[in-house]
Chains A and B, each alone.
Chain A
Amino acid sequence: MSARRRRDPLARIPRAVLVPGAIAFLLLVGPLVALLARAPWAHLGDLLAGDTVLPALGLSLGTAAASTGCCVLLGVPLAVVLSGADGWPGPLRRLVRALVITPLVLPPVVGGIALLLLLGRTGLLGGPLFQATGVQIPFSTAAVVVAQTFVGLPFLVLGVEGALRGVDRRFAVAATTLGAGPWTRFVRVTLPLAAPGVAAGAVLAFARAIGEFGATVTFAGSLPKVTQTLPIAAYLALNSDPEAAIAISVVLMVVAVAVLVSLRDHWLQGIGR
């Protein structure tokens, strides 16, 4: 990492990567530029002022914040366990890590069906819950948060685990010699040092939650003000009013870019280690 930052000969990149790199950038940015070029700027305000977009935006921001909170509360402990898993048998460690990353590669709709099979009212856990209490999770705002947490957790766990592995162990050793127990050591030493990774993971999980569509519509459904988040509103608007769909997409893009710009270089520290 530090070698990359210093201005030394090793930091110079080969020219051959410039062209494919530029193509990759265009591939990523081109569709967004097209979206902005076609956006109905003149009546963007009218399109967004309808009774669909603002409630959907509020719901999206609220559920994404809640699911990011869940990701941090559940994901940081999981990352701590995984970062200390070097002593586990290799196949077990690889299996656990693969399972944690699976939601990244699972088609979101399949993730939604899997959540229904677990938490639906005839599901493995949802069935007994419904029989005992009459409570059903699907079609509720809670279901939106569950779906977003499911897809967002891998980002957080990967980010935090990478950060934890980068923490200099000598600080923990020093803390131990000074008499700190495992909990004090974790809360006062390890966690503060891993904070940038937690922040980066949380921002990525939030961004993923804001854009979540497939798992949400499959598991939670689509009811205005309850489960109809901004991406679902955009998809439905595409059927009747493509201009409104583009307007909603612009809002989503602005939210996503704002979130990701706030990442700055934390991403390099937290992700991809």
Chain B
Amino acid sequence: MTRRLPALAAVAALAALALAGCAQDLPAASGAPSSSPSPSLGGGITVDAAASLNEVFPKLAASFQQEHPGTTITFNFGGSSTLAASIVSGATVDVFAAASTKTMRTVQDASLTAGDPVVIARNELEIAVPPGNPGRITGLADFGDAAKTVVVCDRTVPCGAAATQVFDLAKVAPKPDSYEPDVTSVLTKVEGNEADAGLVYVTDVRAAGSKVEGIPFPEADEAVTAYPIAPLKGSRNAALAGAWVAYVQAHEADLRAAGFLAPR
């Protein structure tokens, strides 16, 4: 049994490599014809998007793919800063949608965006608590109470930068139990009732449904974060990348329905 494990692992690793190789080849092969001036869209693109867009983007993609049969939009959701870092390090991505203009700027500074980024929505923070509010959280001041278990995003990611901003505005010295790597991790800890409260986006509270309750606070209006989107220069399917960006812009209302604020 144990003797056979290494062989199995090796086979699995090789299979994974082979699959990864195929995945790399596919867009190249299907992207080639669309570089001709033909107006019809085809092939696939990869969209790196901020974690907070992971509810609304797949829905938009479903209707986009219905309108343009034969196209495939693949998402890679994560912390904006991590995604930006991988794009700057050379990841092949067609479109980037970030949760802050500052994060988008790191990609712009590396001259990797094709055209100026467009803001498609804005978002603001809200306190998320488990159903029933077991920690009896009333506002931002509770984040300075060492006796409460509270989590926020690390300041290196947009939701953490916004959190730092609202704590400064509210003159609260936060004593979090954890600085999480992205907003989804904060939400997970609140949903699981491991934390009394977490600071997340309004849209995250909306998307979590009955798994969390939201507590708005006035300082949130002062720390609104913008969501810029831009096609990237390295795209192998620039036509489809451009079409997707235009489609998202045209369907701004769907983003507002998901709880996002209007671009301005």
The interface of chain A, by Cβ under 8 A from chain B, is 94, 97, 101, 116, 120-122, 136, 138-139, 158, 162, 217-218, 220-224, 227-228, 232, 235-240, 242, 272-273
Is B132 an interface residue, CB under 8 A from the partner?
A: no
Residues of A within 8 Å of B194, CB to CB, are 116, 120-122, 136, 138-139
Query: Across the interface, do B151 and A121 meet the contact criterion of CB distance under 8 Å?
Result: no
Is B108 an interface residue, CB under 8 A from the partner?
A: no
B153-199 contacts to A, CB under 8 A, are 154, 156-157, 176-181, 185, 188-189, 192-194
Query: Across the interface, do A223 and B176 meet the contact criterion of CB distance under 8 Å?
Result: yes
What is the CA–CA distance of A116 and B189 in the complex, to the nearest angstrom? 9
Query: Across the interface, do B179 and A222 meet the contact criterion of CB distance under 8 Å?
Result: yes
Query: Across the interface, do B181 and A236 meet the contact criterion of CB distance under 8 Å?
Result: yes
* Chain A proximity of B143: nearest CB distance (Å): 14
Segment of B1-9, B116-124, B240-248, B250-258 in the binding face: B1-9
Query: Across the interface, do A242 and B89 meet the contact criterion of CB distance under 8 Å?
Result: yes
The interface of chain B, by Cβ under 8 A from chain A, is 1-3, 5-6, 79, 81-82, 85, 88-89, 149, 151, 154, 156-157, 176-181, 185, 188-189, 192-194
Residues of B within 8 Å of A221, CB to CB, are 151, 177-180, 189
* Chain A proximity of B199: nearest CB distance (Å): 14
Query: Across the interface, do A236 and B2 meet the contact criterion of CB distance under 8 Å?
Result: no
Query: Across the interface, do B154 and A239 meet the contact criterion of CB distance under 8 Å?
Result: yes
Query: Across the interface, do B178 and A139 meet the contact criterion of CB distance under 8 Å?
Result: yes
Query: Across the interface, do B1 and A94 meet the contact criterion of CB distance under 8 Å?
Result: yes
Residues of A within 8 Å of B82, CB to CB, are 235, 238-239
What is the CA–CA distance of A88 and B5 in the complex, to the nearest angstrom? 21
Number of A-B contacts (CB under 8 A): 77
Query: Across the interface, do A223 and B179 meet the contact criterion of CB distance under 8 Å?
Result: yes
**Candidates B6, B177, B188; contact of A139 at CB < 8 Å:** B177
Query: Across the interface, do A239 and B178 meet the contact criterion of CB distance under 8 Å?
Result: no
**Candidates B5, B88, B151, B192; contact of A116 at CB < 8 Å:** B192
**Candidates B2, B176, B180; contact of A158 at CB < 8 Å:** B2
What is the CA–CA distance of A162 and B88 in the complex, to the nearest angstrom? 46
Residues of A within 8 Å of B156, CB to CB, are 236-237, 239-240
Residues of A within 8 Å of B1, CB to CB, are 94, 97
What is the CA–CA distance of A272 and B5 in the complex, to the nearest angstrom? 9
Q: Quick one: closest B residue to A213, CB to CB?
A: B181
What is the CA–CA distance of A199 and B177 in the complex, to the nearest angstrom? 35
Q: Quick one: closest A residue to B155, CB to CB?
A: A240
* Chain B proximity of A233: nearest CB distance (Å): 10
* Chain A proximity of B51: nearest CB distance (Å): 13
* Chain A proximity of B198: nearest CB distance (Å): 11
28 contacts between A and B (CB under 8 A): A97-B2, A101-B2, A116-B192, A120-B193, A121-B194, A122-B194, A136-B149, A139-B177, A139-B178, A139-B194, A158-B2, A217-B181, A218-B185, A221-B151, A221-B178, A222-B178, A224-B179, A232-B181, A235-B181, A238-B81, A238-B85, A239-B82, A239-B154, A239-B181, A240-B81, A240-B156, A272-B2, A272-B3
Residues of B within 8 Å of A139, CB to CB, are 149, 177-178, 194
Q: Quick one: closest B residue to A139, CB to CB?
A: B177
**Candidates B3, B5, B157, B192; contact of A122 at CB < 8 Å:** B192
Query: Across the interface, do A120 and B192 meet the contact criterion of CB distance under 8 Å?
Result: yes
Residues of B within 8 Å of A116, CB to CB, are 192, 194
Residues of A within 8 Å of B79, CB to CB, are 239
* Chain B proximity of A86: nearest CB distance (Å): 12
**Candidates A121, A220, A239, A272; contact of B81 at CB < 8 Å:** A239
What is the CA–CA distance of A228 and B154 in the complex, to the nearest angstrom? 11
Query: Across the interface, do A239 and B85 meet the contact criterion of CB distance under 8 Å?
Result: yes
Query: Across the interface, do B176 and A242 meet the contact criterion of CB distance under 8 Å?
Result: no
* Chain B proximity of A48: nearest CB distance (Å): 17
Q: By CB atoms of chain A within 10 A, which of B85, B177, B185 has the most? A: B177
Q: Quick one: closest B residue to A27, CB to CB?
A: B17
